[in-house]
Amino acid sequence: TMNRELATAFLQAAASVLTAEQGRKVQRVFITGDGDSYHAARGVEMAFENIARIPCEPMSAQRFLDYGAEWMPVKAAGDTLVLAISASGRTQRVVQSVERAREYGALTVGVTGNAGSPLALAAEHQLILQLPDMGPSPGIRTYNASLLGLYGLALALGEQQGTLSAEEAGAIRTEISELTTVMAATLAASEPVCHEIVAALKGADTMVWLGSGPSYGTALFAAAKVVEAAGLFAIGQDLEEWAHVERFAYPDNMPVFIIAPPGRSHWRAVALAKTAKAIGHRVIALVDEGDQELAEQADYVLPVAGAVREEFTPLVYHIASNFIASYWATSLGRYPFHSNDAAFREASRH
């Protein structure tokens, strides 16, 4: 999880990345990254659009580099803002995306934990989200940091454009910082249930994680942690897209994790949980601790211990997936990222 002081510091740092004049000119935002950074971009889209009231388009770095940048509707200097995310600041496609965005006239911000990195040097502005060194990490703390920085940028833009008053923006920053308490409580509530789930589902070698809106980003991130840690084939998918496509995939008892905080798409999550259960899938619900409607359809419930505005659920609703990934990897005797497989590392150099 993230401590409150660090969360507050990241939110405040974001407030001064652009000047008030620069912030007022922004008409649209593109957010780009790879892997966890792209998942964070997906997760914060609603915050930019619904709180800051600025059109926002998340895009993977390869797609932005080769397609999106050229077609950005830049009509005046500073009206299009590109936020490029890389915790290390060394992700090649992300650095290239910033360079391409600048070629086509966009204002650029590098969101990174590394002040001296290629990304920080390539972008006109930087949001540095430096974490205390706690040793190797599977991208969980850096993901939280990216989310916090991006929420901070959304609030800053909302304030600079007059959509939010200074008091409103400040209150929302406090609201986000206080979610660290919910994160800690959710971590404690999730851990024993995750042990039980992994023990029960150990024979499964494929799974899906579902969510819509901000929870689509959470589903992508959760599936990625399982792939990276345990080497299992896991995908993140939108609720309705699963109904149209992966619903027809065998095995019929494949685990289906449904991320469904209170919010706009909760109704559809309930209906699809019923469908998945009827097919024979093992259904695991990641829901608010008081959500009986979806819990009744699930084989297992991973509760979130506290109320979270839908826009900010990506900070909290991924927590259980990290335990699932870790325990599953341990149960299979696997190392993250094939780190004990020299042949795999050599093959992956290309």
Across the chain, mean pLDDT equals: 95
The reply to whether 194 and 146 lie within a common domain is: no
Q: Confirm whether 343 is domain-assigned.
A: no
pLDDT higher than threshold 80 for residue 50: yes
Q: How far apart are CA 189 and CA 47, in angstroms?
A: 27
Q: Confirm whether 102 is domain-assigned.
A: yes
Tokens of 42: 């997906």
The reply to whether 146 and 191 lie within a common domain is: no
The reply to whether 157 and 265 lie within a common domain is: no
The reply to whether 27 and 146 lie within a common domain is: yes
pLDDT higher than threshold 70 for residue 112: yes
Q: Confirm whether 193 is domain-assigned.
A: yes
pLDDT higher than threshold 90 for residue 28: yes
Q: Confirm whether 292 is domain-assigned.
A: yes
pLDDT higher than threshold 70 for residue 134: no
The reply to whether 57 and 203 lie within a common domain is: no
Q: Confirm whether 219 is domain-assigned.
A: yes
Provide the CATH number for the domain around residue 229. 3.40.50.10490
Give the SS3 label for residue 16: coil
User: Taking residues 60-85, what's their average pLDDT?
Assistant: 98
The reply to whether 14 and 128 lie within a common domain is: yes
The least confident of 1-5, 115-119, 324-328 is 1-5
Task: Decide which of 164, 197, 225 is a domain's last residue.
Answer: 164
The reply to whether 218 and 136 lie within a common domain is: no
pLDDT higher than threshold 60 for residue 336: yes
pTM for the whole thing? 0.95
Asked if residue 58 has a cis previous peptide bond (ω within 30° of 0), the answer is: no
Structural domain containing residue 105: 4-164
Q: Confirm whether 348 is domain-assigned.
A: no
Query: Is residue 260 classed exposed, middle or buried when 0-12, 13-18 and 19+ CB atoms within 10 A define those classes?
Result: buried
The reply to whether 320 and 195 lie within a common domain is: yes
pLDDT higher than threshold 80 for residue 220: yes
Is the distance from CB of 137 to CB of 152 less than 8 angstroms?
Answer: no
How many structural domains comprise the chain? Answer: 2
The reply to whether 202 and 328 lie within a common domain is: yes
Q: Confirm whether 285 is domain-assigned.
A: yes
Q: How far apart are CA 18 and CA 123, in angstroms?
A: 12
pLDDT digits (tens, 9 = 90+) for 296-305: 999 999 999 9
The reply to whether 93 and 214 lie within a common domain is: no
Report how far apart the first and last C-alpha atoms of the chain are (Å, whole number): 34
pLDDT of the residue at 282? 98
DSSP result, 158-174: HHHTTSS-HHHHHHHHH
Q: Confirm whether 122 is domain-assigned.
A: yes
The reply to whether 133 and 200 lie within a common domain is: no
Is the distance from CB of 230 to CB of 328 less than 8 angstroms?
Answer: yes
The reply to whether 150 and 232 lie within a common domain is: no
